Structure 1
Amino acid sequence: MDPVIIVGAGPVGLTLALGLARQEVPSILLDEGPGKDEPRLARTVVLREDTAALLERLTGAALGEQGMRWAGWRSLRRKQVMSEVTFGAAESAPLHIAQHVLTNTLRAAVADEPLVRPVLESRLDSIEQEPSGVTAHTRDPKGTWWRGGYLVGCDGPRSTVRKLQDIRFPGRTAVERHAVATLRTDLPWEGCALLHRMPPWRSSWPSAGEVTARPLPAGAWRLDWLLPPGKDLVTPEVLVTRIRETLAGWTDGTTPAYDLLDTGVHTVHHRLARRWRAGRVFLAGDAAHLLGALGTQGLDEGLRDADNLAWKLAVAWHRGPHEALLDSYQAERRAVVAARLRAADQVLPMLRAGAGLRHIVPGAARGHDALLSDGHLGRGQLGAPGRYGDSPLTPRHLEAEIPIGTLPGAPVTDVRVTAEDGSFVQLRDRLGRGALLVILIAPGTGVWDRKHWVSAGVMPRLAAAVAALPHPAELLVAESYPGAPAHSVLLVRPDGHLVTALSGVRPADLYAAAEATVGGAVRLEAEASSGAR
């Protein structure tokens, strides 16, 4: 089969190419640029636990050494500490990293991957679809035609792919605007991120009421000031004055020494493409959605798009078209992003309506702060990874299904498991390989050599059930899992979302769940219906 064509070589396109390669799917990566990003320390991203783990798994790089994992989080209102979080050694803190550093790490991994073919200085100008594939034409010195099985537009907010497919991109413009400055200085809370609402010092800048400080390596900090509505020009002189006032307010009243490294203005738009699939063409990342108000990170959602789509394209590439499975990409991911946008739109008015305490009922200030902290920390409705609760891939009517600490469709907890070779690994290390994961919860197995229990109890029967599944699967064993009783069996998708938990070894239910997960049940019904005609 022809390779997958990926248009756009930003973090999402690069991640998708690597995700496909890990599942032995070749791709052509069309890059409009020269293959390197200009260093810009005012362009940074915050990665949550799941997306940072995804990128480290794909690149083999220790991203924590290239960025800064927050030691803690503090939220202030005027002079009052509203909330404070300290990340312990066992916790995975948000990772703050310059975008060009992240992109270069992904590019280096792509350069070592023989299944990915990067093509530089290639601008897409046309797409032609056929039942058997898709053809793309690029404007370059040769005017090249590229043939692929599928095409994915990861080409950003002004996506050429989206426009060529005539897909609408409605939404709101300039939901928030931030002035940004990255500088090197000493601040009183080393390694901790800060959200300061309604700072008490007098300012020459019209009050926007909010400033954040996020640490970067080598003593650098990114500061963001929420700008008031409008399109007032942020001049260098005004920004420098604001920097000096803010730093003085956070220290002893005297501006500490600082080196200004980069500046910019960041504008947040909220948009959502009407369709994320048009035949053999898909959208991902900023080409499909724009969000980012209230501390949320649009790149997180783009990386989750790539993770969701990669294993589904891999199934279609290796095993033939699975239309229900490919359709589920839009159904799952668009629903999650739409819910995130709705949540932000609902709370924006009360969080941004007014700066005076008279507008806030008693106790509301702390609740508002919690909402903002959720967005920044990747928690709650604004920030937590989405759950595919209403996915068309959800299996129905499983007699042995039981509730555990993870709801069906939600990301699984990263517990330690025993792999088939007897080694101990983290569950996340087994994701993204194209196989379903079947996990037996068996207390006590961790203290015994594998040879003593692999042929005992329910293991032989479970191993036979896993071997008979309609899709490749890997059998793992865990000492425990939150909320799961002993001898329960968990089925997990290649992107780390729970399919179901079963009470004991139930081969029929396990088979039905696996079949539904890869769209097989729907596909077989369609074939039967076609044969009846």
Structure 2
Amino acid sequence: MDPVIVVGAGPVGLALALALARHSVPTVVLDEGPGKDEQRPARTVVLRDDTAAFAERLAGHSFGDTETGARWAGWRSVRRKQLMRELDFDEATPSPLHLPQHELTSALREAIADERLVKVAVDSKLDSLEQDAGGVTVHTRGPKGTWWRGSYLVGCDGSRSTVRKLLDVRFPGRTAVERHAVAALRTELPWPGQALLHRMPPWRHGGAEVVGRPLAGGVWRLDWLLPPRGDLVTPDALVVRIRETLAGWCGGSTPPYELLDTGVHTVHHRLARRWRVGRAFLAGDAAHLLGALGTQGLDEGLRDADNLAWKLGFAWHHGAREALLDSYQVERRAGVAARLRAADQSLPALRGNKNLRSYVPGSARGHDTLLTDGHVGRGPLGAPSSYADSPLAPVFSESFTAVGTEPGAPVVDVRVTAPDGSFVQLRDRLGLGHLIVVLVAPGTVVWERRHWVTAGIMPRLAAAVTALPHAAELLVAESYPGAAAHSVLLVRPDGHLVTALSGVRPAELYAAAETALGGSAPTGRADGEERPGRTGTSTGEEENSAGAAGVARRSG
């Protein structure tokens, strides 16, 4: 079968190619550039903890443990001279990852260099695209202009996407929602390792808002909010902003600093009407632009890649299921649209000095709290998307059990026992081309796996997992937030919870897996019924797991 064609060699395109390789799918990446990236220290990315983990799995190393990325120690929110809020990050509340975008891209390129399933074609500018029932044919111009044949195509070619234009997909939205002057500099500030949001700073050229975010090696990125339509920011004016801001933060005198890079960042909000046209898809900036109020567009783009990779992998190996491929647009477009709506509702209050509650009904959040949410990845502006209303969500059954994660939301990264008996993190098992089944079994941690793998309910559960409609890996967790003993969690390859069942329910587990893979909805599912936990009937056999023998007991 022909490879998947990925158009665009930015972080999203490279991440998608690597993610597809983990699903054993070959790809061709069409890079219109020379295969190298300009080093711009002022162009940085902030990734939520789970998105950072996805990027680190693909790159093969931890960015937070190198000289490139930084995990913040905390977050400070200040208004004029008053400290409004302070957050400390720890294991329970992990910090976002902040790093230069070119460092992320370079790490992904290095990983691709060792990946035999990915071919990168540099100096290859797409100029035509044709689809038929069997695949996609494209032509590229350049020194080695040629035709390419692929099974599917994904446009990751940025805001001016050629793929989107060739597919005739509209890209409506708003222009210049926000403008920021940006500087990357090396200096020492009074709160090492802590990010800062300073609203209404009391010095002359402070403007309405300035954000300081630490990077590795004593480097900081500073962003000053500018009027949406104002004069150009001259180098001299930017130096004045830098000196006054540093002096304001350091007791009145400007500390020594080394200016590394500057720029002006303009935020646009746009959302493509369609993310799938036949065998062609859009992802990243080709599908959406966002970034006001601290939201992070690249974080959403990497989520696009994670969501789409396992679905294309299934289609490539087992044949296309239209419901599964269609679910990419349904899930991801809805998630980004919700983020854009939240920003549009909040902007008049946060930038217009009006009462927040008149724009966000029912919300008691203050301005600083809402802005903090956007920057650190919480709330409507920053929290990860949940796919509770996805067409891949199974019908509710009487065996459904509530856990600390809602169906459709990303699972918590708990320690699990792998089939070989080793202890690993749940996230380490994601994105490998198979479903994941997690049994919550308190007490197993004190015994070697050989003592409980054939005891209690384990043989029955192992047989049920083997019989699923797609390959699945059975993991065992000592505990999971909010889960009772013998809860069984079904997890998608991208780490979103499908359902949680009380005990071993082979028929219901099979039905949930089939639905999660885009198969026919199980009997008893009503039209339009999408969310587990609402209505429906049981489709599996009844079993009182409370009376089942515990898997933690010693066999023999």
Q: When the two structures are superposed, what TM-score results if normalisation uses the length of structure 1?
A: 0.95
Give the distance between the partners of 2:488 and 2:281, measured in 1 at CA.
34
Specify whether residues 478 and 18 from structure 1 end up closer, same or farther in structure 2 by C-alpha distance, changes over 3 A only.
same
2:149 to 147, 150, 157: 147
Give the distance between the partners of 1:356 and 1:153, measured in 2 at CA.
41
Q: Equivalent residue for 1:14?
A: 14
Q: Equivalent residue for 1:489?
A: 488
Q: Equivalent residue for 1:35?
A: 35
Deviation at 1:13, TM superposition (A): 0.3
Q: Equivalent residue for 2:102?
A: 100
Mapping of residues 437-516 of structure 1, within 5 Å: 437-516=436-515
Mapping of residues 332-411 of structure 1, within 5 Å: 332-354=331-353, 367-411=366-410
Q: Equivalent residue for 2:238?
A: 239
Mapping of residues 123-522 of structure 1, within 5 Å: 123-203=125-205, 208-354=207-353, 367-521=366-520
Bigger mean CA offset, 26-35 vs 254-263? 254-263
Deviation at 1:254, TM superposition (A): 1.3
Give the distance between the partners of 2:162 and 2:470, measured in 1 at CA.
35
Give the distance between the partners of 2:219 and 2:340, measured in 1 at CA.
31
Deviation at 1:365, TM superposition (A): 10
Corresponding pairs, count: 517
CA RMSD of aligned residues (A): 1.8
Specify whether residues 366 and 330 from structure 1 end up closer, same or farther in structure 2 by C-alpha distance, changes over 3 A only.
closer
Q: Structure 1, residues 178-208: CA drift from partner, whole Å, max 9, x if none?
A: 00011111111101100000011223xxx63
Deviation at 1:277, TM superposition (A): 0.1
Deviation at 1:92, TM superposition (A): 2.5
Q: Structure 1, residues 290-317: CA drift from partner, whole Å, max 9, x if none?
A: 0010011000000000000000000000
Q: Equivalent residue for 1:531?
A: none
**1:410 aligned partner, one-letter code:** A
Specify whether residues 302 and 523 from structure 1 end up closer, same or farther in structure 2 by C-alpha distance, changes over 3 A only.
farther
Mapping of residues 103-122 of structure 1, within 5 Å: 103-122=105-124
**2:382 aligned partner, one-letter code:** G
2:29 is the counterpart of 1:25: no
**2:17 aligned partner, one-letter code:** A
Maintained 8 Å contact 1:441/1:478: yes
Q: Structure 1, residues 250-287: CA drift from partner, whole Å, max 9, x if none?
A: 11211111111100000000000000000000000000
Q: Structure 1, residues 74-123: CA drift from partner, whole Å, max 9, x if none?
A: 00000111100112356421111011111000000011100000000000
**1:41 aligned partner, one-letter code:** P
Q: Structure 1, residues 358-396: CA drift from partner, whole Å, max 9, x if none?
A: x99xxx997110000000000111101100011001111
**1:388 aligned partner, one-letter code:** Y
Give the distance between the partners of 1:39 and 1:365, measured in 2 at CA.
42
What secondary structure, in the 3-state scheme, does the structure 2 residue paired with 1:440 have? strand
1:68 to 67, 70, 73: 70
Q: Structure 1, residues 191-237: CA drift from partner, whole Å, max 9, x if none?
A: 1100000011223xxx6310000111121111000001313110001
Identity of aligned residues (%): 74
Give the distance between the partners of 1:510 and 1:376, measured in 2 at CA.
38
What secondary structure, in the 3-state scheme, does the structure 2 residue paired with 1:221 have? strand
Maintained 8 Å contact 2:212/2:222: yes
Give the distance between the partners of 1:86 and 1:482, measured in 2 at CA.
21
Deviation at 1:141, TM superposition (A): 2.3
Give the distance between the partners of 1:89 and 1:439, measured in 2 at CA.
22
What secondary structure, in the 3-state scheme, does the structure 2 residue paired with 1:218 have? helix
Deviation at 1:523, TM superposition (A): 12
Give the distance between the partners of 1:521 and 1:366, measured in 2 at CA.
42
Give the distance between the partners of 1:49 and 1:229, measured in 2 at CA.
31
Give the distance between the partners of 1:252 and 1:442, measured in 2 at CA.
55
**2:102 aligned partner, one-letter code:** H
Give the distance between the partners of 1:52 and 1:95, measured in 2 at CA.
6
User: Which stretches in structure 1 are left out of the alignment for 5+ residues?
Assistant: 525-533
Give the distance between the partners of 2:223 and 2:390, measured in 1 at CA.
37
Q: When the two structures are superposed, what TM-score results if normalisation uses the length of structure 2?
A: 0.91
Q: Equivalent residue for 2:55?
A: 55
Specify whether residues 356 and 78 from structure 1 end up closer, same or farther in structure 2 by C-alpha distance, changes over 3 A only.
farther
Give the distance between the partners of 2:397 and 2:472, measured in 1 at CA.
19
Give the distance between the partners of 2:143 and 2:136, measured in 1 at CA.
22
Maintained 8 Å contact 1:198/1:355: no
Maintained 8 Å contact 1:324/1:522: no
Specify whether residues 475 and 220 from structure 1 end up closer, same or farther in structure 2 by C-alpha distance, changes over 3 A only.
same
Q: Equivalent residue for 2:542?
A: none
Specify whether residues 494 and 410 from structure 1 end up closer, same or farther in structure 2 by C-alpha distance, changes over 3 A only.
same
Deviation at 1:288, TM superposition (A): 0.2
**2:81 aligned partner, one-letter code:** K
What secondary structure, in the 3-state scheme, does the structure 2 residue paired with 1:521 have? coil
Q: Equivalent residue for 1:527?
A: none
Give the distance between the partners of 1:225 and 1:286, measured in 2 at CA.
23
**1:405 aligned partner, one-letter code:** G
**2:311 aligned partner, one-letter code:** K
What secondary structure, in the 3-state scheme, does the structure 1 residue paired with 2:217 have? coil
Maintained 8 Å contact 2:123/2:143: no
Give the distance between the partners of 1:383 and 1:471, measured in 2 at CA.
33
Give the distance between the partners of 2:446 and 2:185, measured in 1 at CA.
51
Q: Equivalent residue for 2:84?
A: 82
**1:375 aligned partner, one-letter code:** G
